[in-house]
Structure 1
Amino acid sequence: MEQDPAPAATAFDVATQFVDREIQNWKGPHALVIGISGPQGSGKSFLTAKILDHLRHSKPTLNCVGLLLDDFYLTHKDQVAVTKAAQLSENALLQGRGLPGTHDLELAVETLHKLRNGTVPVGIPFYDKSAFNGEGDRLDLWGAVDKTVDVVLFEGWMNGFKAIDPTLFPAAYMCTGTESVVQKTHMYHLEEINADLGRYEPLWGLFDRFVYLKTDVEKNVYKWRLQQEADLISKRGTGMTDAQVVQFVDRYMPMYVLYYWRMCAEGAAKGKDCNLCIEINGDRNVEGHFYF
């Protein structure tokens, strides 16, 4: 009698096995901070939410908290100032939230430090992307953590991205090729983004463990974003055209081309087997995983 083949492991299966093990073995003097990273549309938000739900049900004695890099975007007032400066220099990458230089890093580092070190209470900001006709703003009403935290999951699409040495940046830019999406943007504008990205590394330095989704980013991010928009149109009746979606993704794609590969190669957490890479295909199915 033939047995049905075992179902393929999902990203959730692989990630929870890693997270459960690391929590069990954690002997640190502070809360365990796990960074989670993945390209837009890869399912990282869904994965993070499922892991958090799993932890709250399987480990009810632990206080597990989730944070989003997106919730640390600049206030609307501060982003308007960044946008105005970017308009003067004609740097479209900083005209609106999303890329390095559009987050309140001081607040992010301070918040994660407090949670990590057991300080209570800690205010948690929330960001409303629909405010100001889609320009977004930080909500006046914050969340609060009033109990010492045991585990923090910190999710972000560019978590772990590291700046390129400024002296090497021109070579990195030119090596992408004249047909690359990278070279649709002036090098000096991307050098500004690169400098801003360097200021995020103290935040990544607070990650004790790191989980990330690896994929063919240049092909799949466009595909996934087009799928998401098609789903949105089917539900709401309106949305961006395919050309508008491609233009939207083009703004982020230089980040992936320049920095994603290095994050995939190096991870973000220090120490043996502290990083988990989950390889996924265009259907978000797991093709492999490894620790390092």
Structure 2
Amino acid sequence: MLKQQSKFDFTNLSMPSSLSHRLRFDVEQTLSCLYADASLVDQMDELYLPFSNWLSQKVHLGKGPLIVGVGGAQGCGKTTFCSVISRILNKGFDLNSVVISLDDMYSTRHDRLKFADETTPMFSVRGVPGTHDVSFALSLFERLKDLKEGEVMKFPRFDKSIDDRKSVQLWQEIQGPVDVVLFEGWCVGAPPMTEGMDKPLNNLEAEMDADGVWRNTVNELLQGVYKSLFSQIDLMAWMQAPSYDVVYEWRNKQERVLESHLHDIHGILLDTIDLKVMSSKELKRFMQYYERLTRHMLAVMPSKADVLFKLNEKQDVVDMRFPIEH
């Protein structure tokens, strides 16, 4: 990864004046499909196009995909951002770009419960390192890198409303060769934690992890298999929340959007499945599983990431920092 960083001067990038106008409808469609704020399309010229253009110049055509990690606290808008960037790269820069979510790499509910039985019940709850199928993810990335013209592969899809992996028929289909992979997730790129591991951080840890088995196992996994997974990343982008305090509000907003669109998502199957949409009270407890690592990443990722997007409380990108170019 590039280490030296500064603000990037986009005036050096030459883009056709018609590109923004031509892509506007595509971005609007993408936002609509994600039930995202339609006004985000107005960030086209200041955010989406400049970043897409910058990425397009990093692509190593014919030498495998450029893998771009995109991390950020829960609910900060990673999925929407990556989906828009991918659409722009595909439509505006003629690059085969795909979005891969770490959330889709969760182990099946059965496997998570099995791991929880072997370690601690805390691993039955999806979220932290230890609840993903990392070996499966690594094999998928290896296959993706070698995907040739005319070849097709499938990536898993996870359904949070049923807390389990979708059936194979509903997995994401990817055609080769791939130019850009946007690998997004709240803990993508997370380095191991170094401080405060000896004491519980919140009520949940005090109740369920007084002996530290859970948090130390998470850290061991970050030092091991997750380090191998994140080493696949060529460029790391981080979306920095203004503070941890806003993360619950963002994640709660995300959960309520899911709740309001359950019929759109599941259609006639809605009455036949056991949904797992969380109430606000349940979400507050659930967020405590994420709190330790989220606070750690908010502290260390701004200096570790190649690209930094600073967000305000409304989730608007108010500043961007890019690597120094030589």
Query: Is the TM-score greater than 0.5?
Result: yes
Looking at structure 2, the residues matched to 104 and 233 of structure 1 have their Cα atoms a distance apart, in angstroms, of 27
Looking at structure 1, the residues matched to 124 and 177 of structure 2 have their Cα atoms a distance apart, in angstroms, of 38
Count of aligned pairs between the two proteins: 264
1:290 aligned to 2:321? Answer: yes
Residue aligned with 2:154, SS? strand
Partner of 2:308: 277
Residue aligned with 2:129, SS? coil
Looking at structure 1, the residues matched to 180 and 257 of structure 2 have their Cα atoms a distance apart, in angstroms, of 34
Cα contact 1:41–1:225 (8 A) shared by 2: yes
**Mind listing any 5+ residue stretches in structure 2 that lack a counterpart?**
1-39, 263-274
Residue aligned with 2:287, SS? helix
Cα 1:276/1:32, change in 2 over 3 Å: same
Looking at structure 2, the residues matched to 19 and 182 of structure 1 have their Cα atoms a distance apart, in angstroms, of 40
Q: 1:221: Cα distance to partner?
A: 0.7
Cα contact 2:96–2:178 (8 A) shared by 1: yes
- Percent pairwise identity: 24
1:33 aligned to 2:67? Answer: yes
2:242 to 198, 209, 216: 216
Partner of 1:265: 303
Cα contact 1:35–1:153 (8 A) shared by 2: yes
Partner of 2:182: 153
- Provide TM-score, normalisation by structure 1: 0.78
1:256 to 294, 301, 304: 294
Partner of 2:164: 136
Cα contact 1:181–1:253 (8 A) shared by 2: no
Q: 1:227: Cα distance to partner?
A: 3.1
Cα 1:234/1:182, change in 2 over 3 Å: closer
Cα 1:244/1:182, change in 2 over 3 Å: closer
Q: 1:208: Cα distance to partner?
A: 1.4
Name the aligned partner's letter for residue 97 of structure 2.
Answer: C
Looking at structure 2, the residues matched to 11 and 189 of structure 1 have their Cα atoms a distance apart, in angstroms, of 42
Partner of 1:4: none
Cα 1:191/1:47, change in 2 over 3 Å: same
Partner of 1:57: 91
Cα 1:53/1:222, change in 2 over 3 Å: same
User: What do you get for the CA RMSD once the two structures are aligned?
Assistant: 3.1
* 1:125-145, Cα deviation, whole Å (9 max, x unpaired): 222233xxx331342223333
Q: 1:213: Cα distance to partner?
A: 0.5
2:219 to 194, 200, 219: 194
* 1:142-179, Cα deviation, whole Å (9 max, x unpaired): 33333211111111111110113xxxx4x4335xx877
Residue aligned with 2:91, SS? helix
Looking at structure 2, the residues matched to 253 and 12 of structure 1 have their Cα atoms a distance apart, in angstroms, of 34
Q: 1:48: Cα distance to partner?
A: 0.9
Looking at structure 2, the residues matched to 137 and 118 of structure 1 have their Cα atoms a distance apart, in angstroms, of 24
Looking at structure 1, the residues matched to 200 and 60 of structure 2 have their Cα atoms a distance apart, in angstroms, of 50
* 1:199-251, Cα deviation, whole Å (9 max, x unpaired): 21122111112222001341111121233445566677x96443322112111
Cα contact 1:278–1:290 (8 A) shared by 2: yes
**Mind listing any 5+ residue stretches in structure 1 that lack a counterpart?**
1-6, 268-274
